[in-house]
Amino acid sequence: MKKLTFIFSMLFVVAAPIRVYADNCSVPKVLIVLDKSSSMNNTINGDSKWNLAKAAIANLVNAYDDRIDFGLMIYPGTNHCTTGIVTVDVGPGNASSIISALGDAPPSGGNYTPIYQSLDAVGSYSTLMDATSENYVIFLTDGWQWCDPYDASTRFNGVDSVYDLHQLGIRSAIIGFSAGVDAVALHRMAYQSDMVRTGCDENATFTYVDGVPIIDDPDKRCYYQSNDGPELQAVLDSIGAVITAEVCDGIDNNCDGNIDEGLYRACTSICGGGVEECVLGNWENCSAQQPEAERCDDVDNNCDGVIDEGCTCVNGETRPCGIATGLCSMGEQVCENGYWTECRNAVWPTEETCNGIDDDCDGFIDEDIVETCETVCGNGVSVCVAGDWTDCDAPVPVEESCNGFDDDCDGIVDNGDNLCDSGKECIEGICVDENGNTDNDAGVEIPVNNGSDSDSDGCGCSHAGSSRNKNVFWLSLLLGFAVFFRRRKF
């Protein structure tokens, strides 16, 4: 049995995924700062807050291990009210290390909540000072700033701590877990963090009930609040999505091999509004009308608010006017009292809609009409083409298989039944039996990528379960030793 354990241990070491990123792929760094005060032993729906937090964090790091460099700080550090300690340094592929480091539950009493002391320690953690990456803190607590004896003057020190981190370029996601948190302090901390909830209002009001502050309008809360395990998981998932979201900066933020893809926003000129797209970090191609030299056509061509300024005519003259493109049709102006009348009986442009018609009469049909869409696997866009919406280009879930990927997008890699043949278990994306044998004659199955050193998505990111073909030799050698040792009699 010991030899079999050794085989599996070495198999994990050799086959552990090695992440390789393209030069334009920015991997964010995230330090999880977790409350391990004694109150985390209190239960919600029959399970301790500590166990619920461990499970939610395990799901987070497993889901984003190939896109985020995680680390872990637990506070208090050694005991009572000591400053938090980094138990897992921020780095790639840390999911299993963080899950192991979460360890046992807090002691039943004596562990307090040194919030500001631990956040101040983060400010001197050099790994988060990397100017080449985006740096974050995910801070979770179930209580108040509290050491024994309690010092009320320190209640809001964490606000300054988060502000200082923001000045260092570190953004903080503040999470309150359960109803007993200091909502006022967390609200103020989050406002300084640059990672506030939608609808955050610095001036939100609170009512105290039995000494506990309750926000009057939850929609104005700046920090993230979760009151049970599923809510905490949802909050962490949303934070992970924000951290890995693509933004217009010329960088492959989500590490999918594409730069600034699917990013659009509204734009304006002095003539009106339109849509522009992000191209390699720059917003370009605004579709809004641009001012032109004024013409005598009953249109304010130069967008100065005056139509056909400087135009004169002979009474009784007529001339065509308007636009003869798309849905539009020409009309007629008549000269009256030396001035051209408005354009009469013309059909003018309307707002472009997805109908296969050139509504705005600019010579293009259904241009610049896009809408965002999503699946359980992520976000995408749908584009109007000739009156019809294209299929959403967001990724879609597929049947889970043993390959080191979350195929069905439920947040868990290689979960489900019958992923491997009878007698085999899916370990790190490989079907292995109790003797360490895999699905091929060499004794090892290594997922390959058609001969390329990068993933097929073009990013060069190795997802969980990927490796290099050179590992086959070492795996075969180790398994050969295992067979030899089993057959020897001692």
| DSSP string of 1-41, one letter each residue | -HHHHHHHHHHHHHHS------TTBPPPEEEEEEE--GGGG
User: What is the per-residue pLDDT for 99?
Assistant: 97
Average pLDDT, the chain: 84
pLDDT tens column, 268-315: 999 989 999 999 989 999 999 999 988 777 788 899 888 877 777 777
Give me the mean pLDDT over the 360-383 stretch: 90
Is 249 a residue whose pLDDT tops 60?
yes
Calpha distance 468→490 (Å, rounded): 36
Please answer whether residues 266 and 275 qualify as being in contact, where contact means their C-beta atoms are separated by less than 8 angstroms: yes
Tens-digit pLDDT profile for residues 130-184: 988 899 999 999 999 999 889 999 999 999 999 999 999 999 999 999 988 999 9
Residue 486's H or E segment, with its range, is helix 471-487
pLDDT recorded at residue 184: 97
Q: Is the pLDDT of residue 3 over 60?
A: no
Mean pLDDT score, 306-331: 86
Which residue did the predictor score with more confidence, 486 or 170?
170
**Long-range CB pairs of 272-278, under 8 A, 24+ apart, other chains included:** 274/368, 275/368, 275/370, 278/248
Matching residue, tokens 């790091």 = 61
Identify the top-confidence range among 202-216, 384-398, 443-457.
202-216
Q: Which of 352, 391, 393 is nearest to 369 (CA)?
A: 352
State the SS3 of 299-354: CCCCCCCCCCCCCCCCCCCEEEEECCCCCCEEEEEEEECCEECCCECCECCCCCCC
Task: Give 446's pLDDT tier (boundaries 50, 70, 90).
Answer: very low
CB 12 within 8 A of CB 428: yes
pLDDT more than 90, % of the chain: 53
- In order of their start, the domains of the chain are 1-16+402-490 (no CATH), 29-243 (3.40.50.410)
pLDDT bracket for residue 217 (50, 70, 90): very high
Please check whether residue 86 is in contact with residue 46, taking contact to mean a CB–CB distance below 8 angstroms: no
List strands edge to edge, sheet with 339-340: 318-322, 330-336, 339-340
How far is C-alpha 369 from the geometric centre of its chain's CA atoms?
Answer: 25
* Contact call for residues 428 and 16 (beta carbons, < 8 A): yes
Q: For residue 439, what pLDDT is reported?
A: 65
Terminal Cα distance for the chain, rounded: 14
**Contact of 359 with 348, CB cutoff 8 Å:** no
What confidence category does residue 24 fall into, taking pLDDT thresholds of 50, 70 and 90? low
Residue 16 has pLDDT above 70, yes or no: no
Kindly tell me if the per-residue pLDDT of 410 is higher than 50.
Answer: yes
Q: Which residues lie closer than 8 Å to 278 by C-beta, 6 or more apart?
A: 248, 260, 263, 264, 265, 284
Tokens of 357: 């018609």
Structure token pair of residue 78: 């050694």
User: Per-residue pLDDT for 335 more than 60?
Assistant: yes
